[in-house]
Amino acid sequence: TEISETQTGDIKVYANWKESVVYGDIIYKLNNGILPEGAPVQYEVGKALTLPTPTREGYDFLGWALSSSSNKYITEIPATQTGNITIYAKWQLHITYSAINYVLDGGELPESADLEYREGKGVTLPVPTKYSHRFLGWSLEEGPVITQR
């Protein structure tokens, strides 16, 4: 826009504005995790954005941190955030414990017998006792012995 050559005298000009949307990039440091499909790669400045939950085989997701060494977690990008943001996925090895159900057929376990085991780690099964019997070992089904004693 310009003032023409023929314009004379004082004039008043008015600014016209249209609000533009500003975006920031989201840089994910996944530490071997996988983002869900459709996870945002940008956020709109001025609006809070809830962060996606990634997955990683054999691990539990603890949260997003703002640095690789932080243990303080965030669940969203706040509306006050400006510029690009880098977030770090924090993980903990998933540990599953399962029950050990002993079928003793009249035998007795020692008091120290484990009643559960950590999956992915072996456990030594106890030697039960039964009056006037010799223990041959354990099996996963009725039938053949898997552990000789």
Residues 64-109 pLDDT 10s: 999 999 999 999 999 999 999 999 999 999 898 999 999 998 999 9
Q: Give yes or no for residue 22 having a pLDDT over 90.
A: yes
Q: Bridge-partner residues for 27, per DSSP? A: 86
Total residues belonging to the chain: 149
34 and 57 in contact (C-beta within 8 Å)?
Answer: no
Which residue would you say has higher pLDDT here, 142 or 65?
65
pLDDT for residue 78? 97
Name, in order, each residue with C-beta under 8 angstroms of 79's C-beta and a sequence gap of 6 or more: 46, 47, 48
pLDDT for residue 1? 76
pLDDT for residue 147? 57
Cut 0.75: pTM above it: no
| pLDDT, the chain, mean | 92
Q: Give yes or no for residue 149 having a pLDDT over 60.
A: no
